[in-house]
Every structure is written in C-alpha cells, then in structure tokens.
Amino acid sequence: MAWARRIIGKVALSVGAGVGALVGYLAVLHYSGNFHLVLANELYRSAQISDADLRDYRSRFGIRSVLNLRGAAPGEPWYDEELAATKALGLTLVDFPMSASQEVGAEDAARLIAVMRAMPKPLLVHCKQGSDRTGLAVSLYLAAISGVSEEEAEGALSLWYGHFSVPYLSDAYPMDESWERLEAGLGFKES
C-alpha cells in the first residue's frame, strides 16, 4: 500500500510540474507580447502592440506594415494608439476583422491571403493575444504565399504560440475547424 501512495504521489507531482511549466510558459508569452519571427524580413506575429513595441519592431526588424485582425475600433485606446503609431512611423495599417469564435470561410480566407500578399513587407500580423486569429492567418500565409509544408503551416496554430483548442471547451476551436476545412483548397490533399 505504501508503494501505491509513492507512485500516486510521484504521478501527481509530475502532472503538477507539467501543468506549472505550461502555465509559466503561457504567462511568458502573455507578458512578452507573444512576438515571434515567422519568416525573416517578411513576416512577424504578435499580440496587441503598443506604440513603444511598434517603434521597437520597426527599428529592429524594419516592419513596413501591420495587419490588425481585431478590426477597426475608433475610440478604443488600443486602436487609437496603434493608428497613431502606424501613421507616425509611415507604416501601412490594414484592419481585417476576424473573431476567434467564428469559422473563417473560403471567401474570407481568400480575401485575407490576398491582403497579406499585397501588403508591404516585412509584415506584422496581430490580434489581441497573438495566438488564435493570428495563428490561423499565419498558417494561411505560410501555406498559400510561402508554400511551406502542411505540418509547418499548421504549426503556426499551436500551443507553442498560446493557441489552446479543445472541441466544445475552447472558444478558439473554430480556428482549427477553419484550418481543417481550408487545407484541401491550399493544396494539402491528404488532410
């Protein structure tokens, strides 16, 4: 019986450590702005950006345009700050409204791909947290514009970037559903 308690204790400790590490990692993503290089000199991703962040990214990475997946929101402090910062820096800002809780259809995906293809590079794509909507947009960019493998494109929509998706439990699951429905049209026939 003592051996069973030791095993249960070790399993509980291991699970607790794993959960703690995951929570810690997600906290780091949140507080770091979830900023990541996707393709050098071409594509970057992040959570909502501040004026200071945008100035830093412009200086360090040469960002020339910003794709805001939250949509235009005049009067909201985050949007007004972003609009003023992009204007002050001479950057292109495109507002493309998406909801992480609604599937993206083929027409909207085609419009999003066309917008990303046309925007000056390097391009910074963001939503509120930089995980769900941004993950899908980056997956579409990688598949349709960069021509990477299915696995690499799909990896942009993953826990590594803070995207947590469980059917019926996660509000962001429609991003995964969208990707699954769009894959065949992107040339991934075995999906």
Residue 136 Cα distances to 17, 18, 24, 27, angstroms: 30, 26, 24, 21
At 58 the pLDDT is 98
**Chunked in runs of 10, what are the mean pLDDT values of the chain (191 residues)?**
58 45 44 84 97 97 98 98 98 97 96 98 96 95 95 86 75 86 87 57
Does the pTM exceed 0.85? no
Domains (range + CATH), the chain: 23-186 (3.90.190.10)
At 19 the pLDDT is 42
